[in-house]
Amino acid sequence: MSKIPDKAGAPDREAHPPKNEAAEAGGWKSAAQSQRLLHELRVHQIELEMQNEELRVSRAEVESGLKRYTDLYDFAPVGYLTLSAEGTISELNLPAAGLLGRERSRVVGARLRTFIAQTSRAAFDAWLTRAFAGQGKQRCELSLLRDRLPPVHVEIEAALSDDGRVGRVVLVDISPRKALEEELRQAQKMEVVGQLAGGVAHDFNNILAAMMLNLGLLRAENLAPLEGQGALDNLDELAKRAASLTNQLLLFGRRQVPKPQEVELNATLRHLLKMLERLLGEDITCTFHAGTAELWLEADVTMLEQAVMNLCLNARDAMPNGGTLTVETSLREIDAANVSRDPKSRPGRFASLRVTDTGCGMAPGVLAHVFEPFFTTKEVGKGSGLGLSSVYGTVAQHKGWLNVESVLAYGSTFTLYLPLADRQGSYPAPSRPTTPPKGKGETILLVEDEPAVLQLSTRVLTRFGYKVLAAADARQAIALCEQHREEIDLLLTDMRMPGGMNGLALAEKLRARKPSLKVIIMSGYNSEMVTGSPAGSVDFTYLAKPFEIERLAETVRHCLG
């Protein structure tokens, strides 16, 4: 009987593989799991890197935005700052620090009130209370004090934060606007004073006209004794000085009619300064620096010379112990940039005339009033206060402008800007005959509301060979014209008269009845009304008051032809 191997208790090779095969299977599983873990780690790593990249991009955007914000904050055209309810500054931008005139580190933590001028602190306190009372945006104008810098005017506006604990404040520099407003107020004040000055000149010129006509008649008719001739000469000189004062009033008030002609500024100044040397005195050195270009102006020579003379004499008075007076001319091209810095200027080509002295100078308070009539810092009897105001009026009438700079103890500089002529026309200076011409029996209708001037003018014209019909107002003149229409050759009328009809309106009315009527209009005041007559109105000859008998006779004869 064959023997069968006993397999009991022996492991089955196929059901139970050897240990090394199980380890291999377990190792394979472990490797697969590791691969999966590694893959998951790589995925997580990639996700983290992507998230990090997103964070880097977001951070860069935040940093870029912060830089843009900082740039906008620090280089804004206005000042920004943050205030507490007590007025303490917690942060501010560079423009705000500039407006306060201090470094930013010195301002943070300080009270804004300490930088405000005393005159503005009450307004600031009220503004701060309103701003933190939840009444919406609040505005206020203040004056800020700055270290070693002049004060600056600002407009301040605040809005509360959402929690109402701090105020977001905006500071805007309004100094240029304030300067323009002051310029406008000054111009309006000067215009009103000019009108007043012109009114005074009108009444005074009537008085002077009567005085000068009386003096002329005394001389012409030999009515004064020989021993009285000296007194007549003295009265004549005083009347002319008074007429010069009223002329300066008219220049200031722009009531003087310029007689323009083409003038070369440098040649005019050379001639004038030679004459002025005697007036300036030996202790004042006068130098003249002319520009290389010829400077042709359309100007009234007399008015221009008077303006320069007033500036030079004013400079002389500012140098009682001697000094240097410098007159300079140059050609200036004014562009938009100049206009933005000087609102009085305008673009174009101008002659610049500078008069500089090394005198005592002027304080800012004096400088603000220097062109006002009757304002003077000189002793009583040493100045009328009309010199610089007449310069102002002359420059304005010639469509120019002027600036003044002055420092106490260092002197002053006046700079005039006058428009250049286009050189297309010429304005010859009028010539005067050597002897007053006589009349040929022509009839003159004389209209004058001042009795003395009416009486004396009638006497003068009659003496020179004219027939005179005298009227005290327009109503009487119209009645006389109705009676003597055919024989009247000339209307000689004052510009301003009672009754509501001025000389120009009267001339137009009478010219409508007699087209050949010649017209002379006299005025001691508002010759702008004459030059501004409507288009197509009557043409006329202008005669400024006061006048001497010779000029009256010359004007009448010239008008009659």
pLDDT tens digits for range 385-402: 456 877 888 888 888 999
Higher-pLDDT residue of 331 and 12 is: 331
pLDDT digits (tens, 9 = 90+) for 480-489: 999 998 999 9
What average pLDDT does range 421-430 have in this prediction? Answer: 55
pLDDT of residue 207: 84
What element of type H or E holds 264?
Answer: strand 261-264
Please name every residue paired with 519 in a beta bridge, in sequence order, or none if there are none: 491
* pLDDT of amino acid 528: 43
C-alpha separations of 235 from 75, 228, 301, 384, 524 in Å: 71, 11, 27, 20, 20
pLDDT of residue 79: 87
Q: Is the pTM of this model over 0.75?
A: no
pLDDT at 530 over 70: no
Whether the per-residue pLDDT at 342 is higher than 80: the answer is yes
The pLDDT assigned to 535 comes to: 40
- Say whether 522 sits in a helix, a strand or coil: strand
- Distance between CA 384 and CA 242 in Å, rounded? 11
Residue-level pLDDT at 53: 81
pLDDT of residue 220: 76
User: How do residues 181-199 score in pLDDT, each as one tens digit?
Assistant: 877 777 777 677 666 666 6
Q: Is 357 left (phi over 0), alpha (psi -120 to 50) or beta?
A: beta
CA distances from 379 to 203, 313, 376, 398 (A): 27, 15, 8, 32
pLDDT, tens digit, 9 for 90 and up, residues 5-32: 454 444 454 445 555 555 565 666 677 8
The pLDDT of residue 43 is 84
Q: Name the pLDDT band for 256 (thresholds 50, 70, 90).
A: low
Tokens of 199: 């009114």
The whole-angstrom separation of Cα 138 and Cα 144 is 18
The pLDDT, as a whole number, for residue 29 is 65
Mean pLDDT score, 522-546: 63
Beta carbons of 254 and 528 less than 8 angstroms apart:
yes
Q: What is the CATH number of domain 443-560?
A: 3.40.50.2300
Fold of 79-173: Beta-Lactamase (3.30.450)
> 283-305 in b/e burial notation, b at 16+ Cβ within 10 A?
ebebeeebbeeebbbbbbbebbb
What's the confidence (pLDDT) of residue 416?
95
What confidence category does residue 327 fall into, taking pLDDT thresholds of 50, 70 and 90? very high
Q: Is the peptide bond before 546 cis (omega within 30 degrees of 0)?
A: yes
pLDDT at position 404:
93
pLDDT of 219 over the 80 cut: no
Provide the percentage of residues in the chain whose pLDDT is more than 70.
79
Mean pLDDT of all residues in 122-150: 85
- Band (pLDDT 50/70/90 cuts) for residue 428 is very low
Residue 490 clears pLDDT 80, i.e. is over it? yes
Residue-wise burial string across 173-206, b where 16 or more C-beta atoms lie within 10 A, e elsewhere: bbeeebeeeeeeeeeeebeebbeebbbbbbebbb
pLDDT one-digit tens code per residue, 77-120: 888 888 898 889 988 888 888 888 888 888 889 999 989 999 89
For 185, list phi and psi in degrees, rounded to 5.
-60, -40
One DSSP character per residue, 387-415 reads HHHHHHHHHHHTT-EEEEEEETTTEEEEE
Domain 261-419 = CATH 3.20.20.370 = no
CB 318 within 8 A of CB 379: no
H/E element holding 154?
A: strand 149-160
Structure confidence at residue 476 (pLDDT)? 93
Q: Read off the pLDDT of each residue in 431-450 and give the average, rounded to a whole number.
A: 78
User: Residue 170: phi, psi to the nearest 5?
Assistant: -115, 130
What's the pLDDT at 384?
Answer: 45
- With 60 as the cut, is the pLDDT of residue 426 above it? no
Average pLDDT over residues 49-75: 74
Relative to beta strand 284-289, strand 323-334 is parallel
The residues, ordered by sequence, that sit 6+ positions from 382 with a Cβ below 8 Å of its Cβ are 317, 376
Q: What pLDDT score does 467 carry?
A: 94
Whether the pLDDT of residue 559 is over 80: the answer is yes
When pLDDT is averaged across residues 29-37 and rounded to a whole number, the result is 80
Summarize pLDDT for 374-387 with one digit per residue, the tens. 566 655 444 444 56
The stretch 299-321 carries a mean pLDDT of 87
Q: Phi and psi of 354, rounded to 5°?
A: -110, 130
* Per-residue pLDDT, 161: 79
How much is the pLDDT for 423?
A: 63
The full set of domain ranges for the chain reads 79-173, 179-252, 261-419, 443-560
| Predicted local confidence at residue 520, as pLDDT | 92
Distance CA 372, CA 379 (A): 17
pLDDT of residue 10: 47
